Structure 1
Amino acid sequence: MSERTLLQELTTPRHVAVTEEGDLISSEELLFMTLASIRVATDDFSDTNKLGQGGFGAVYKGVLADGNEVAVKRLSRKSWQGIEEFKNEVVLIAKLQHKNLVRLLGCALEGEEKLLIYEFMSNKSLDQLIFDPEKRSKLDWKTYNGIINGIARGLLYLHEESRLKIIHRDLKPNNVLLDHELLAKISDFGMARIFSENQNAANTKRVVGTYGYMAPEYAMEGLFSVKSDVFSFGVILLEIISGKRNSGFYQTELAPTLLAYAWRVWNEGKALDFVDPVVLESCLASEVVRCMHIGLLCVQENPEHRPTMSAVMLLLGSESMVLPQPKQPAFSLSRVLRLDPSSKTNPSENEIIFSEILPR
């Protein structure tokens, strides 16, 4: 289906489904909404309703005519996430149902406006929780452990349990949302890719991701697999434990990256120095150190040395299983970027296309 045909098809309110060929057709599965109704729901995208800003655009809180609260992702008109990525997200998430994935309720496509309407997550994104000292201080290790397990279950579903094998490719705290019970749900599937049953890896010339969370083989060679998602998960796990961002860690005097710092204190036998004191107040030291150990296994430089998400779930759920010794984590990503020449605009801070790798 051409872009023009697709635009014509989607300009009136209706329900849609996805054909085997990946086209969008009318059905009762997913609601197509009018731009006018979304403007009313969000008070014309007012700043007071703005929940956050990402590389692909802003997210707004909205209240539909039936009183239901929703989150509206408004893709930037200048964003390099075009019609194909918009369609990709609709196609993928319409096929997925899991408690640890954000539910897509509908979408709208009129003129240059591309809108995705999701269930509203009252506790916003994970980054707004774990990097805010005040919010962190109100939560205990049991809550953090539940969030870690929720992300792991969502990834396991994507990789192994859904009828599709899906690689997310842009997993980061901003793309993990939290509901009113702090249940973690993975969102943003615009960059995700479907793998065939027997396919284990793929290569792309257009590397798209976020500084600090991209696996080295993806950033350097465009090679992605389930193990590149595992790497991103490992970074998030270590960020939750420490309360520190991997990106921007070079500004501290501790180490060039959070991963390098984790590796240093691990080798020095001072793993607890890595753990946020607030976390230590509410956990067994052995439990959080084991979790840090799992995080280090996930960020190994060689993807073959990283566990699968099914193995991660087993390790998280067992205190008795012996963990292999981690090897040195991957190289740190540089902030020197080469932009995709086809890009019409620069990505937002930390959003990158084609990154280079610096030695340790």
Structure 2
Amino acid sequence: MKFHFHTRRYLMDSPAPHSQDTTDQGNQSNSSSSSAAMPIMVSVLVVVICCTIFYFIYCWRWRKRNAIRRAQIDNLVTLSKSDLPLMDFNTIVEATNNFSKSNKLGEGGFGPVYKGVMSGGHEIAVKRLSARSRQGAVEFRNEVELIAKLQHRNLVRLLGCCVDMEEKLLIYEYLPNRSLDAFLFDPDRNPQLDWKRRHNIILGIARGLLYLHEDSLLKIIHRDMKASNVLLDNKMNPKISDFGMAKIFDGEDASQVNTGKVVGTFGYMAPEYALEGTFSVKSDVFSFGVLLLEILSGQRNGNYYVQHHGHTLLQQGWELWTRDQASEFMDPTLENSYSPTEASRCFHIALLCVQGNPEERPTMSKVLLMLISDQMQLPLPVEPPIYARSNTADFSISTKTGSAYNESVNEVTITLVQPR
């Protein structure tokens, strides 16, 4: 009896075989789940760490960028107070009707330009630098520093500037006739440019460039001379504008400078500058020569002209010169109202200005002297750089060395960075 009691008690205390198997399976299942969850947890942890790192990097870059921007604005405010009247931003907003589209005059490489009317009725032109322009502050400072020191009847006059948080504004005198290209390349307005006005515009541009190169306190190379950067006042007198890309030399030799950054507008750009990044006052002379050919012909140099004529305006001028048919180059809207002697002389001077070798181009002082002196003997020009069509839709310019560069399709200002 005693034996049976102990046996029964032993059997009750022993675990059932089936229960033991279930426990083992549960333990194995938990172990498998833990093993599967471990990579997920590690992946989530890595993602969190990476996101945290990227967030801190972004915050650091944002703070650094804002610090640089604030420093630029502080410098601009100091410059404005010392050199130019610093205008109130709210006053400019009111004058331009909050920069309304109806007051927009156009858009340049660094932002739109608006017409404004001050409380006293005085009209102004406001250039509003685009916040998207990475070089906006640099170009703004350059233009303020430069124009504040320039005074010439053939240069646009800067009245003041405005800096307010992210806003950077330049306030110019308002010129009702806007830019030369608005007349020259518009079939409806082109006839308003008779020969007397065109000749006066040519002389005015030449005088303005001469002042920049030789007569101002600083030697200045414009680097973006073109029809859209020549404004016309109410009497159709020309005024050179847009000095954001100008290069200033204070007592330095500007005969030849190398730069790794090419800025300007293809079609007006001298070959040595476009191909090698080398510019000088002779680069502006080349641009003036192209502009002079455009004023004489009423045609815009560039891809559009090449597509319709098979060669550039420079090549067309040279071919007519070699065939002694200069009169065929003249704008048909002029008919026979122009002076053949003056027109032929301007055509000759333009070809001298667009010669490929900068040393063979005249200086602006000689250009102006040749324009106003009928007795001065002119040297014979040589063939200008040849623009040739490439295998693609783009166009290239070739010289005796066989180098080439792409040309702008829409005539806008282009910045091309080249390693040196």
Gaps of 5+ in 1: 17-23, 338-345
Which of 254, 259, 278 aligns to 2:333? It is 278
Distance 2:135 2:72 in 1: 16
Which of 248, 257, 274 aligns to 2:312? It is 257
Higher relative contact order (CA 8 A, sep 6+): 1
1:310 aligns with 2:372: no
1:53 aligns with 2:107: yes
Distance 1:34 1:217 in 2: 43
Q: Which residue does 1:7 correspond to in 2?
A: 73
Q: Which residue does 2:228 correspond to in 1?
A: 174
Q: Which residue does 1:143 correspond to in 2?
A: 197
1:93 aligns with 2:134: no
Deviation at 1:103, TM superposition (A): 0.4
Deviation at 1:277, TM superposition (A): 1.9
User: How has the CA–CA distance of structure 1 residues 25 and 276 changed in structure 2, closer, same or farther, with 3 Å as cutoff?
Assistant: closer
Q: 3-state SS of the aligned residue for 2:126?
A: strand
8 Å Cα contact 1:55/1:347 also seen in 2: no
Q: 3-state SS of the aligned residue for 1:185?
A: strand
8 Å Cα contact 2:387/2:395 also seen in 1: no
Amino acid at match of 1:353: T
Q: Which residue does 2:185 correspond to in 1?
A: 131
Amino acid at match of 1:45: F
Relative to total residues, which structure has the larger strand share, 1 or 2?
1
User: How has the CA–CA distance of structure 1 residues 80 and 348 changed in structure 2, closer, same or farther, with 3 Å as cutoff?
Assistant: farther
1:144-159 mapped onto 2 (5 Å cutoff): 144-159=198-213
Gaps of 5+ in 2: 1-66, 397-407
Identity among equivalent positions (%) equals 56
Distance 2:341 2:415 in 1: 39
Deviation at 1:76, TM superposition (A): 1.6
1:31-46 mapped onto 2 (5 Å cutoff): 31-46=85-100
TM-score (norm 2): 0.75
Amino acid at match of 1:159: H
Which of 360, 369, 375 aligns to 1:320? It is 375
Q: 3-state SS of the aligned residue for 1:58?
A: strand
Deviation at 1:348, TM superposition (A): 7.8
Distance 2:124 2:205 in 1: 21
Q: 3-state SS of the aligned residue for 1:121?
A: coil
Deviation at 1:280, TM superposition (A): 3.9
Q: Which residue does 1:342 correspond to in 2?
A: none
1:8-27 mapped onto 2 (5 Å cutoff): 8=74, 24=79, 26-27=81-82
8 Å Cα contact 2:76/2:141 also seen in 1: no
Distance 1:80 1:269 in 2: 49
Q: Which moved more, 1:153-162 or 1:103-112?
A: 103-112
Relative to total residues, which structure has the larger helix share, 1 or 2?
2
Q: Which residue does 2:412 correspond to in 1?
A: 350
TM-score (norm 1): 0.87
Which of 215, 238, 245 aligns to 1:191? It is 245
Distance 2:177 2:158 in 1: 17
Distance 2:121 2:388 in 1: 45
Amino acid at match of 1:240: I
Deviation at 1:327, TM superposition (A): 0.5
Q: 3-state SS of the aligned residue for 2:299?
A: coil
Distance 2:411 2:211 in 1: 30
Q: 3-state SS of the aligned residue for 1:115?
A: strand
Distance 1:281 1:347 in 2: 33
Deviation at 1:162, TM superposition (A): 0.6
Distance 1:45 1:244 in 2: 33
Amino acid at match of 2:355: Q
Distance 1:44 1:196 in 2: 39
1:291 aligns with 2:353: no
Distance 1:266 1:316 in 2: 18
Deviation at 1:129, TM superposition (A): 1.1
> For residues 85-122 of structure 1, what are the alpha-carbon distances to aligned partners after superposition, in whole Å with 9 as ceiling and x for unaligned?
11010001101100000000111122322211100001
8 Å Cα contact 2:183/2:193 also seen in 1: no
